[in-house]
Amino acid sequence: MDELLNYLIVILMTTGVIFGGKAVWDWKKNRTPQLDLKELEAERAQYLQENFDKATADFNYLEEAREHLNDRELVNQLRLLQRTAKNLLNHLEKNPERIALAYKFIDYYQDRAVKIVKQYIELEETHLSTDRILELKARMKQTLAALDDAYQDQFEHVLNDQIISTDAELTVMEQQLDAEGIKRKTIDVGAVDEYGNVRIDTDLLDQPLQLEPQRKFFPQQGMQRRRRGEVNAHPAGDLLPFPEEDRPQIVQTKLIQSALAIFLGSFGAHKFYQGKTFQGALYFLLSWTTLPMWISLVEGIRYLFMPIEDFYDQYLKDKRKKRR
């Protein structure tokens, strides 16, 4: 009997090991991989920062080199390069998630520009003017001149998703205007001035510049907010969050709620008046203590001195919306 029992135990243990192992195998095979996103985000942030630091260092080197070069032609070429590079770096600083898109600009084009300028400075220091040296310098300047187009192509590549999104929005808007029969004005688009800025309408250039005071729009609720203790915060012309004819009724409600809180607040009268039955019952059940009395006294004083606009926003606006 004992031997049979031992055999059964061995069989059960073997079966459990087999099925248990199979279950673990199936779980490992079918489970969804979990990525360590925190570590991944940290590594990506470090990668983007390192690339941006490299781009900034290369830019600063070219700026310093430009100040010490004697070749005016080369200086002008670097000035054009640096202007595009500065605009691109400013954009990347505001949109760091796009730094990876500028990898070719950071790791190749600007990096090569730095190397060419360094080599040019080294040749300048030799004071040689042989035909081969002069030819090599000319090729360097030609290469740097070609890099300006490469810089601009990289900037456009970084802005590609924004360009596509803006183009799609403009297409939809143009279709909407056409559907409503609104004619679009034909203007001179694409004319570029001496500074490289695109003109929208050259006809407007002949008109004198007229400066008008800025006009800002404030949401209605924001306009009606007043700081505590501020008197006559709303000029006569401002809009109110409620009709002016409702002011007497709101003031009356405010006074009643304040009086109930001060004199009958221990029994939750002001909470029942507000429609907050649960809070009123809680005040009533705890009325044998002094806690509801002191709390309601503070609330009553607060209601009394609260600006009418704030009182309306907190205690009456939601009720009126529900009634509507």
Residues 241-282 pLDDT 10s: 777 778 888 899 999 999 999 999 889 998 899 888 998 898
CB 121 within 8 A of CB 65: yes
Across all residues in the chain, what is the average pLDDT? 78
CB 113 within 8 A of CB 147: yes
The angle at the Cα of 114, spanning 113 to 120, to the nearest 5 degrees, equals: 90
The set of long-range contacts for 263-270, using a CB threshold of 8 Å and a minimum separation of 24, is: 263/300, 265/292, 265/293, 265/295, 265/296, 265/297, 265/299, 265/300, 266/292, 266/293, 266/296, 267/292, 268/292, 268/296, 270/296, 270/299, 270/300, 270/303
* pLDDT score at 290: 85
pTM beyond 0.75: the answer is no
Residues 115-150 pLDDT 10s: 999 999 999 899 898 999 999 999 998 998 888 899
User: Which residues have C-beta within 8 Å of that of residue 51, sequence separation ≥ 6?
Assistant: 99, 100, 102, 103, 106, 107
pLDDT over 70 percentage in the chain = 69
Identify the three-state secondary structure at position 43: helix
Residues 151-186 pLDDT 10s: 999 999 999 888 888 888 888 888 888 888 887 766
* pLDDT score at 13: 61
* pLDDT score at 90: 93
pLDDT of 9 > 70? The answer is no
**Helices 131-158 + 72-94 axis angle, to 10:** 20
DSSP single-letter state for residue 216: -
